[in-house]
Structure 1
Amino acid sequence: MLIDTAMRLMGVGQLLLMALVAARSGAPAPIRRATIALLVCVAAYLAIVSPALQLWRSAAWPVIQIFSLNAPLALWVFAHLIFERPIDKRLFALALGVTLIDWMLFTHALYVTHQRPVAAGAVQHGIAFLLAVHAIVIAIANRGDDLLEKRRMFRLGFVIVVGVQTLGIVVVESVYDLLRTDIWLMLLQSGTALIAILAFGAAMLTANAELLFDKAAPPPPRAPLSPAEHVLKQKLDAAMAAHIHREPGLGIGVLAGKLGVPEHRLRALINQRLGYRNFSDFLNSHRIADAKAWLGDPARVDLPVLTLAMDLGYGSLAPFNRAFRDATGTSPSEYRRAAILDPEKG
């Protein structure tokens, strides 16, 4: 039991140190807050399930418990932000609401009934399972978008490891009695968690903050293109001029195959030489340029925005609207109105 407690306390300390590093980083505020929330929530869970610490006797138990219960939701939000996926606010509100209700039931059980709320535990396990699975799916589905290989693998591994840990905890706590404290289960959980925390913590604390997010610092000046890079850029420019960016579902691996070049070379060119953070930004820059031209073309004034979005390679209207607003600060319909009615301002 002493070894289990020591490993948990080491893990909590490392997580809080990582949260401090994230708080002092130059990451965008939403990603910084999500990272801190995830790390603190995981630390709360590690501490609250330790039988030796007996935090249920502490007046701080309700606060620690609510952070602990929200760890899967924090992972879900973190995965959306780190892979730049839009968060469904209705799903977020639903998950948060259910978690808060479970927290109240757990608190009532501790201080009033002194009986474990079985139904609340089952619901919480179900929510945690679904959130963790969805976070892993997001990470895998968007694993190829980031152009920096080291950061791409770190982000993917970070979300998958935390997600798998969450799934393991849910399965074990569902199969075994939640209040059982078999030493082998406790050691397995604390040991695997500590190994993962130390590995990711070492990478995060010793490497650049860009492993998790982009710094706000301006990019360094770029050296002239090498002959090989110049030839590759000519191939890329020719492909863009042939409107390859309008192909639905175009990924960097597919584009590299069409150009007949290794994927890592194309990633390096787009990121380090052309200055794009990820492949989606590069692709959207060409698609939105076409969209602006089409929306301002009187001959296409009757072309529905949905048709335009599909012709540009977007799978639906929502991602096109989001990308267009991010690039221009306005919706496609508003842009068309301004471009047609007042060409000088449009």
Structure 2
Amino acid sequence: MLEPYTFALRGLALGFVIALALGLRGLASRARLAFCAFLACVAGYLIRAAPEAAGWSWPVLVPLSIAAVLFPAALWWLVHTAFDDRADVPHAVWAAVLCLLAAAVTPRTAPAWASLGVELTQKLAGLALAGAALWRLWRGRADDLVPGRRALRGGLLGYAGAHGVGVLAVELWMGGRRPPPWLDLANVSLMALVLAVSLALMLRMRQQAVDALFGAPAARVEDAPAQLDAPDSTDAAEEAALERLGQRMRVERAYRSPELSVAELARQCGLPEYRLRDLIHRRLGYRNFPAFVNEHRVREVEGRLCDPSEDRLPILTIAMDAGFGSVGPFNRLFRERHGVTPSVYRQRRGSVACVSASGRLDRHAPPG
């Protein structure tokens, strides 16, 4: 009795998915790719979960199954790319993706014990990816400098968390059996509603707002500390605030504290937290607070690696002195920035790039 309504809602939800994908054309390439991958997985789940799909041939079901089971990976990538402004993919994530793919391509004729093992592995891998994505949405909310995007973190966290946990609980409870029609209708209705709301919000937002929320991270500022001394605003209060921020970061080197937060830096500068967020994002072009702080840290490391008098110090010691809490984030950031390891960078101290980095730092070194 409920099947016709579910079928209609499923088609409506797929229409919303297509409309959202078309509306993402104005986004930066990485964010657009992440969103389209996420929407493709939503579409795959909607089609694969339809009762009519049960009788389709295995070659037809494989791509749909792949899209459906990769939903947790797509959610993780969306958070990683569009919310945390990151491009790297850790090896553990690739391993989880392989586990999900193995579950998607396992034929229905496989032995029962093999199917059970693959299904259990899929559930664990999917839960790990979804949990990591939700955790990063929650953890990164304080460091996100884009106001609208920071608000969306809470909405996506609440929906993905509640819906995802609910779907997982039902799947575990059903034990591989198909859910009753009313439950399938409720699931599709909720997805259609969320997609409709998302589409409505996107249509109401101007392109500038979309770019601000999900555009590519600002290009690395060639001389970020220098910008703190060269504000282009005519507002005297803003100039004074930027001057205090430059004093704390460049001269007093507040970035050397591994625990530096937006709230702590705002307190040191004597500014409201929302005002400091606005200055760093709008005036200096940073979308996440760690990127702003790490820019100063890595510049100090660059200068010290180019200084022969510092050769006796291990690179890890220099990185820790500059405020990096662990070697992993430092090495990743340094390789993304220069394409070589810190040790190779130190060996090439005579190169133009090294001299340039050292020169930029020296111009803003504190007196004495």
Common topology (TM > 0.5): yes
Structure 2 matches for 1:324-335, cutoff 5 A? Answer: 324-335=334-345
Question: Map of 1:1-346 to 2, 5 A cutoff?
Answer: 1=2, 2-22=4-24, 24-29=25-30, 31-51=31-51, 54-59=52-57, 60-82=60-82, 83-85=84-86, 87-105=88-106, 107-109=107-109, 117-158=115-156, 161-207=159-205, 208-210=209-211, 212-215=213-216, 224-240=233-249, 241-339=251-349
The alpha-carbon distance between structure 1 residues 303 and 155, as it changes in their structure 2 partners (threshold 3 A), is same
Identical amino acids, percent of aligned pairs:
31
For 1:329 and 1:90, locate their aligned partners in 2 and report how far apart those are by CA, in whole Å.
Answer: 19
- Which amino acid counterpart does residue 19 of structure 2 have in structure 1? L
Distance 2:327 2:112 in 1: 52
CA 1:120–1:212 in structure 2 vs 1: closer, same or farther (change >3 Å)?
Answer: farther
Which range is displaced more, 176-185 or 232-241?
176-185
Q: TM-score, normalised by structure 2?
A: 0.81
Structure-1 separation of matches of 2:218 and 2:102 = 42
Shift of 1:132: 0.8
Give the deviation of 1:87 after TM superposition. Answer: 4.7
Task: Indicate how the Cα distance of structure 1 residues 230 and 123 shifts in structure 2: closer, same or farther if over 3 A, else same.
Answer: same
Amino acid at match of 2:104: W
Helix, strand or coil: the match of 2:177?
coil
Aligned partners of 1:81, 1:56: CA distance in 2, in Å?
Answer: 34
- Between stretches 125-134 and 302-311, larger displacement belongs to 125-134
CA contact (8 A) 1:99 1:124 kept: yes
Residues 164-183 of structure 1: per-residue CA shift (max 9 Å, x gap): 42222111110124333323
Report the Cα offset of residue 115 of structure 1: 12
8 Å CA contact 1:128, 1:166 repeated in 2 = no
CA contact (8 A) 1:41 1:68 kept: yes
Q: Using the TM superposition, give the Cα deviation of residue 41 of structure 1 relative to its aligned residue in structure 2, in angstroms.
A: 0.5
Code of the residue aligned with 2:15 in structure 1: it is G
- SS of equivalent residue, structure 1 residue 292: helix
RMSD (Å) for aligned C-alpha atoms: 3.0
Any unmatched runs of 5+ in structure 2?
220-230, 359-368
Q: Deviations over 1:35-87 (max 9, x none)?
A: 21111101211222122xx0233353222121111111211222222313565
Paired with 2:349 and 2:66, the residues of 1 have a C-alpha distance of: 51
Cα offset for 1:266? 0.7
How far apart in 2 are the matches of 1:297 and 1:320? 19
Which has the larger displacement, 254-263 or 65-74? 254-263
Stretch deviating more after TM superposition (273-282 or 295-304): 273-282
Report how many residues are paired.
337
One-letter identity of the residue aligned with 1:93 = W
Q: CA deviation at 1:146?
A: 2.5
**Within 1, Cα distance between the matches of 2:346 and 2:115?**
56
| Partners of 1:338 and 1:132 in 2: CA distance | 42
Q: Is contact 1:256-1:263 (8 Å) kept?
A: yes
3-state DSSP class of the match of 2:214?
A: coil
Give me the TM-score of the superposition, normalised by structure 1.
0.86
SS of 2:349's equivalent? helix
What secondary structure is seen at the aligned counterpart in 2 of 1:230?
A: helix
Q: Give the aligned residue type for 1:63.
A: P
Q: By how many angstroms is 1:286 displaced?
A: 1.4
Q: 1:282 to 1:131 in 2, by over 3 A?
A: same
CA distance 1:12–1:116, change in 2 (3 Å): farther
| Counterpart contact for 1:7–1:190, Cα < 8 Å | yes
